[in-house]
A = this chain, B = another copy of it.
Amino acid sequence: MNSDNDFQVQIKQKVQRIEGILQEYLPKQKGYQSVIMEAMGYSLLAGGKRLRPLMMQETFRLYNGTAKSLRPFMAAIEMIHTYSLVHDDLPAMDNDEYRRGRRTTHVVYGEDMGILTGDALLNYAFETAFKAFVIEPEDSLAIGRALTVLGDKAGIYGMIGGQVIDVKETGRRVSREVLCTIYRLKTAALIEASMMIGAILGGASEEEVRKVEKIAGYVGVAFQIQDDILDVTSTSETLGKPIHSDERNEKTTYVTLMGIPEAKKEVERLSKEAIGLLHELSGENAFLEKLLLQLIHRDR
């Protein structure tokens, strides 16, 4: 119990440091366009678990990485995650007015600025990652590999691809195969990017990076199925967002398709696969293992 308490304190401290990194990398210079900087800050600093930068950092630690380029990439991955939420919430998409207990970006700044804030965050994510070239020019090749992963996993063969299938299939009953493709792309791809970039900048071999990708894939899909379970079994107070939103949006989820017991079983199976592979890696990081387990089995 005490060790679990310690673990929660550790997470809290690490997340606070990540908040500092996000603050550091938000645009400072203002101008006539200052409203966009304000909207970017509003969207990015709205709380959240910061699990993507956290996982990137912990995978980096697994390899005893020392590269200073990690920091801009940690900020970049959270900016990409945030832009995807800002665009998801738009009236033409999910039309959500609240997220994490706060009004969504387009509600506060208008629909046009909602679109532009998402665009700005995506573009600024790459601008931020490019700062690595100035920090460690001698590592340009590794930075290039990390950027390639970031671009791929965020794009049409990753997160955006998942979002497209999701939008296309809303209102239809989709097969388990299509659903798992959506989860693999929409949710798991950015988690894969997070851990893979941590590994690449930490100095992992190509082979290890592939293993890390697999682990992250299992964790990402398990994370999403757990999300489906919580949407049915939790309360909006605990989650800080409306529950039963999947039902309202007529979305097929792992739970509507397979039922809660099967969904829980699948989370268990993916969790075991992930931890098994984690033990095969060359480095060790007990915190990372705990973190992955907690993410998969979280109650909010």
A interface residues with partner B (beta carbon < 8 Å): 27, 29, 31-33, 35-37, 40, 83, 87, 90-93, 111-116, 118-120, 122-124, 126-127, 130, 133-134, 137, 140-141, 143-145, 147-148, 151-152, 154-157, 160-165, 167-168, 178, 181, 185
Given A130-B144, A152-B127: A157 in contact with B29 (beta carbons within 8 A): yes
Please determine whether A120 and B33 come into contact, CB atoms closer than 8 angstroms.
Answer: no
CA distance A269 to B176 in the complex (A): 64
A160 shortest CB reach to chain B, Å: 5
Closest B-chain residue to A133, C-beta based? B144
Given A144-B137, A145-B133, A181-B32: A167 in contact with B113 (beta carbons within 8 A): yes
Please determine whether B35 and A168 come into contact, CB atoms closer than 8 angstroms.
Answer: yes
CB neighbours of A141 from chain B (8 A):
133, 137, 140
A172 shortest CB reach to chain B, Å: 12
Q: List 11 A-B contacts (CB under 8 A).
A: A27-B156, A31-B157, A32-B165, A33-B160, A40-B156, A115-B115, A116-B160, A126-B126, A126-B147, A133-B141, A143-B144
The 10 closest A-B pairs by CB, nearest first: A133-B144, A140-B140, A127-B151, A92-B111, A33-B161, A33-B164, A123-B155, A36-B164, A32-B165, A130-B148
CA distance A165 to B115 in the complex (A): 14
| Tally of this chain's copies | 2
CB neighbours of A157 from chain B (8 A):
27, 29, 31
Please determine whether B115 and A164 come into contact, CB atoms closer than 8 angstroms.
Answer: no
Please determine whether B113 and A164 come into contact, CB atoms closer than 8 angstroms.
Answer: yes
